[in-house]
Structure 1
Amino acid sequence: MYEGPIQDLIDELSRLPGIGPRGASRIAFYLLDAPEEDVFALADTLRKVKESSRFCEVCFNISQDERCRVCRDPRRDRSILCVVEESKDVVAIERTNEFRGLYHVLGGSISPIDGRGPSDLHTRELFTRLADGEVQEVILATDPDTQGEATASYLSRMLRDFGVRVTRPASGLPVGGDLEYADQVTLGRAFEGRQTMFEPSTAGL
């Protein structure tokens, strides 16, 4: 245990995902030894991120404007909607250059152990986006782990009444992994070979 602000900094850094007490100590002492202008620049950047960043009013991706660059792009295919858990998943998929549709960011996954259910995600907004019939396919690109699979299963059931094709990226993705860490080739092929979870009925048409 250290005294004063340095311990406060270690405690705050330890709260970040993937950083334990030892890693937090290394970062804290690195910042302590770094030039003053570099530390102040980092603090200023953190402040600007909180002040200027917002969520897209349509898809809930991170954006500096009311609508993100994907939603503003008229060249995107508006008949295909890719549902992901977090904004970082949008970045991972965009890197593949295999997907030209739109996105919907849920803001997490269903996780009863964490007290997070469907109502805690942007599911209602998703269903609202599907109401006008423009979207013909929904890709459920949640992470291939327990929470992601539960979320995809729930959404697949709920989407049966919307008359859309529901697909899921192929199983080239490692089970229990995150989209964020999948390499571009694997993720691109997973989208290219996505599997159908539900097809809308054409009876009576």
Structure 2
Amino acid sequence: MAGYHALPLELLAEEFAKLPGIGLKSAQRLAYSIISRPEEDVERFANALLSAKRDIHYCPCCQNLTEMELCSVCADEERDHSLICVVESPKDVTALERTGEYTGVYHVLHGLISPIDGITPDKLRIRELLARLQDGKVREVIMATNPTVEGDATAMYLAQLLEPLKVKVTRLAFGLPVGGSLEYADEVTLFKALENRTAM
């Protein structure tokens, strides 16, 4: 970062640049925007950041992000707890919930198997998923990982792992392009993918 900026401004821009998808120019624009705002707005922004970091944790059941003891989906007795949809990240839960059609619960892996990136199965929330299946109450597990090499590899790995448990394992019938992302899919496409899921 050029040294002609005030040091606190440079440091702020450097912090913004550490966020995914934020380049140096965007980081500088964000830093200037923060400086131009009233102090109470900046305090509110800083408090929101700290509150999110301090108060949000993993749901002990599904591993989604929540500020409550259990996330709202796991705590909802109206949901079908015998149906678990396995996704890569909390953003995918949000995408599927937008359809308004899925009535089961979720399990968030927080990543996909990718040996080239050093992500092995033990680094994902697979142990927690297996623990949920021990009581025999789950009738179906839907693999809703993205249709990428890593997503498919993770879904296949989990399907093989779950085979001895005699639970039905299905895969979303993707109306999505290969290499696409659930996060950016529209509600109708996601609903059709859920509706037309296939056995693995």
TM range (shorter): over 0.9
Aligned pair count reads 197
- State the match for 1:114 in structure 2: 117
TM-score, with length taken from structure 2: 0.95
- 1:48 aligns with one of 48, 51, 63: 51
> 1:127-138 counterparts in 2 under 5 A?
127-138=130-141
Rounded Cα–Cα distance in structure 2 between residues aligned with 1:18 and 1:182 = 19
Aligned residue type for 2:50: R
Q: Within the alignment, does 1:73 sit opposite 2:88 as a pair?
A: no
Aligned residue type for 2:90: S
- State the match for 1:201 in structure 2: none
TM-score, with length taken from structure 1: 0.92
Aligned residue type for 1:162: L
Percent of aligned pairs sharing the same letter: 51
Three-state SS of the structure 2 residue aligned to 1:175 is: coil
Three-state SS of the structure 1 residue aligned to 2:107 is: strand
- State the match for 2:98 in structure 1: 95
Aligned residue type for 2:110: G
Q: Within the alignment, does 1:58 sit opposite 2:68 as a pair?
A: no
Q: Within the alignment, does 1:140 sit opposite 2:126 as a pair?
A: no
Three-state SS of the structure 2 residue aligned to 1:79 is: strand
Rounded Cα–Cα distance in structure 2 between residues aligned with 1:38 and 1:86 = 30
- State the match for 2:9 in structure 1: 6
**What's the CA shift for 1:3?**
4.1
- 2:179 aligns with one of 170, 176, 188: 176
Rounded Cα–Cα distance in structure 2 between residues aligned with 1:64 and 1:45 = 13
Rounded Cα–Cα distance in structure 1 between residues aligned with 2:36 and 2:13 = 14
- 1:185 aligns with one of 180, 188, 198: 188
Rounded Cα–Cα distance in structure 2 between residues aligned with 1:15 and 1:195 = 40
Three-state SS of the structure 1 residue aligned to 2:112 is: coil
Instruction: Name segments (4+ residues, structure 1) moved above 4 Å.
Output: none
Three-state SS of the structure 2 residue aligned to 1:98 is: coil
Which deviates more, 2-11 or 188-197?
2-11
> 1:11-22 counterparts in 2 under 5 A?
11-22=14-25
Rounded Cα–Cα distance in structure 1 between residues aligned with 2:37 and 2:148 = 39
Rounded Cα–Cα distance in structure 2 between residues aligned with 1:145 and 1:34 = 42
Aligned residue type for 1:56: C
Runs (5+) with no aligned partner, structure 1: 198-205
Aligned residue type for 2:7: G
Rounded Cα–Cα distance in structure 2 between residues aligned with 1:75 and 1:196 = 25
**What's the CA shift for 1:189?**
0.8
Runs (5+) with no aligned partner, structure 2: none
State the Cα deviation string for residues 41-70 of structure 1 (Å, max 9, x = none): 100110111111111111111111221111
CA 1:40–1:186: 2 relative to 1, 3 Å: same
Instruction: Provide the alpha-carbon RMSD of the alignment.
Output: 1.1
Rounded Cα–Cα distance in structure 1 between residues aligned with 2:173 and 2:136 = 25
**What's the CA shift for 1:88?**
1.2
Rounded Cα–Cα distance in structure 2 between residues aligned with 1:84 and 1:53 = 19
